[in-house]
C-alpha cells in the first residue's frame, strides 16, 4: 500500500513544481546571505503563502544566519520546512469526541463546487474507519442531483443518511437529522449544505437557520461549522473564510483539490493570517483521498518529492 506521505507528495506535485521544488533545488547547500534571502523572498512572494508568512520566514532565516556562526553549514531548506511547519500548526486543534456530548454536529459549509458533498462522503468513511458511529444529512435540497449524490456516498461509506425530497426545507431536515442522531447514539452527524442560493445573504441566512434549529436539539457547544475550500482558490480563500466565519463561525477547514492545483501554498497563508485550523485535506476524488492534516508532512511534501 502506498504510504500516506508518498501519496501526499504525489498530490502536491503541481504545487512543488511551481515554486517550492525550485527553492529546494536552487538553495540546497548554499550559504545564507543577503543575496540568498532576497532571491528567496522574491520566490516565496510568488507562491501563495502570502506576504506575512514570507516576511516572517525570511526574517527568521536572517536572524538564524546572524546568530549562528555556522549558518553557512545550515541547510536552508530544512530551516524553511521547520518554519513553515511551525506556521501550519499554529492553530492546531485535536478533534475530541466526548461520549457525554453526543452527537457532535458538523455543519459542512462552502461555496458551490468546493467539494462539500464529496468531503462529507470521505469524512463519513474516515470517522467510521476510526471507530465512530456516523450519520449524514442531505440539507442541500436546492440542487436536484445533490441528494442522490450524497446517497451514493452514504452507500459507499456504509453510514445512515437522513434525506428528504428536493425542495424541502433544509432546516427541517437538519432538525430531523439531529434528533435522529441523538436518539441513535451517533458520535458525529455531518450535514451537507447548499453552496449556491439566489444571493449570498440568502445562503448565509439558511446556514444560520440550520444552526439555530440544531441548537434546539443539542447544546450549542456540540455544533460546529467546518468550511470546505477549493485549493485552486489561492489567496481568495482568505476572504471566503472570513465571510463564512462571520456568518456561521468556522471551527475548522478542509482544503480540497490539492492534487490538481499549483496553489497549495495557500494553506500557509491561511494558517498565518487566520486563527482557524486546517483539519483535513482533499487530494483526489476517491473515498480514501482525504487526509488528516499533518503540518510536518505537508511542509516536507512542499519541498521534496
Ligand atoms: N481532484 C479532486 N477533486 C475533488 C476533490 N474534492 C472534490 N472534488 C471534485 O469536485 C467536484 C465538486 O465536488 P462536490 O462535492 O460536488 O462539491 P459541492 O458543490 O461543494 O458539494 C466533484 O467533481 C468532485 O469529485 C479533491 O480533493 N480532489
Ligand atoms: Mg454538494
Nearest-atom index, ligand 1, CA of 110: 20
Q: What pLDDT score does 208 carry?
A: 96
Distance 286 CA to ligand 1 centre (A): 10
Nearest-atom index, ligand 1, CA of 112: 19
Which ligand is nearest to the Cα of residue 261, counting in written order? 1
Whole-model pTM: value is 0.95
> Is the CB of 240 inside a 6 Å radius of any atom of ligand 1?
no
Q: What pLDDT score does 74 carry?
A: 66
Q: What pLDDT score does 126 carry?
A: 98
Q: What pLDDT score does 198 carry?
A: 65
> Is the CB of 227 inside a 6 Å radius of any atom of ligand 1?
no
Residue from 41, 43, 36, 45 nearest 19 by CA: 43
Give nearest CA residue, ligand 1 atom 26: 257
Question: What is the CA 128 to chain-centroid distance, rounded?
Answer: 19
**pLDDT, block means (10 residues), the chain with 305 residues:** 90 96 89 91 95 97 78 78 97 95 97 96 98 96 87 97 85 96 98 83 92 98 97 92 94 97 97 97 98 98 95
Q: What pLDDT score does 197 carry?
A: 66
Distance 117 CA to ligand 1 centre (A): 7
Give nearest CA residue, ligand 1 atom 6: 115
Residue from 282, 184, 176 nearest 226 by CA: 282
Distance 195 CA to ligand 2 centre (A): 7
Nearest-atom index, ligand 1, CA of 283: 27
Give nearest CA residue, ligand 1 atom 10: 115
Q: What pLDDT score does 73 carry?
A: 59
Distance 147 CA to ligand 2 centre (A): 8
> Is the CB of 170 inside a 6 Å radius of any atom of ligand 1?
no
> Is the CB of 257 inside a 6 Å radius of any atom of ligand 1?
yes
Distance 113 CA to ligand 1 centre (A): 6
Give nearest CA residue, ligand 1 atom 1: 284
> Is the CB of 282 inside a 6 Å radius of any atom of ligand 1?
yes
Amino acid at each position: 500500500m502506498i504510504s500516506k506521505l508518498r501519496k501526499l507528495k504525489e498530490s502536491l506535485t503541481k504545487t512543488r513544481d511551481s515554486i517550492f521544488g525550485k527553492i529546494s533545488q536552487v538553495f540546497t547547500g548554499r550559504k545564507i546571505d543577503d543575496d540568498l534571502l532576497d532571491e528567496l523572498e522574491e520566490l516565496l512572494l510568488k507562491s501563495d503563502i502570502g506576504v506575512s508568512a514570507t516576511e516572517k520566514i525570511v526574517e527568521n532565516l536572517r536572524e538564524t544566519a546572524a546568530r549562528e556562526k555556522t549558518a553557512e553549514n545550515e541547510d536552508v531548506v530544512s530551516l524553511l520546512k521547520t518554519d513553515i511547519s511551525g506556521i501550519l500548526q499554529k492553530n492546531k486543534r485535536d478533534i475530541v469526541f466526548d461520549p457525554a456530548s453526543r452527537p457532535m454536529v458538523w455543519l459542512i459549509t462552502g461555496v458551490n463546487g468546493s467539494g462539500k458533498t464529496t468531503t462529507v462522503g470521505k469524512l463519513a468513511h474516515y470517522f467510521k474507519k476510526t471507530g465512530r458511529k456516523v450519520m449524514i444529512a442531505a440539507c442541500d435540497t436546492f440542487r436536484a442531483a445533490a441528494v442522490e449524490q450524497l446517497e451514493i456516498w452514504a452507500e459507499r461509506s456504509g453510514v445512515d443518511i437522513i434525506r428528504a425530497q428536493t425542495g424541502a426545507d433544509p432546516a427541517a431536515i437538519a432538525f430531523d437529522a439531529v434528533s435522529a442522531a441523538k436518539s441513535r447514539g451517533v458520535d458525529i452527524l455531518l450535514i451537507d449544505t447548499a453552496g449556491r442560493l439566489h444571493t449570498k445573504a440568502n445562503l448565509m441566512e439558511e446556514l444560520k437557520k440550520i444552526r439555530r434549529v440544531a441548537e434546539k436539539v443539542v447544546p450549542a457547544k456540540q455544533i460546529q461549522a467546518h468550511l470546505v475550500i477549493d485549493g485552486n482558490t489561492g489567496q481568495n480563500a482568505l476572504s471566503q473564510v472570513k465571510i463564512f466565519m462571520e456568518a456561521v463561525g468556522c471551527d475548522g477547514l478542509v482544503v480540497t483539490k490539492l492534487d490538481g492545483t499549483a496553489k497549495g501554498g495557500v494553506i500557509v497563508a491561511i494558517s498565518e493570517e487566520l486563527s482557524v485550523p486546517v483539519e483535513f485535506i482533499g487530494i483526489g476524488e476517491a473515498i480514501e483521498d482525504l487526509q488528516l492534516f499533518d503540518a510536518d508532512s505537508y511542509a516536507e511534501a512542499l519541498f521534496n518529492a
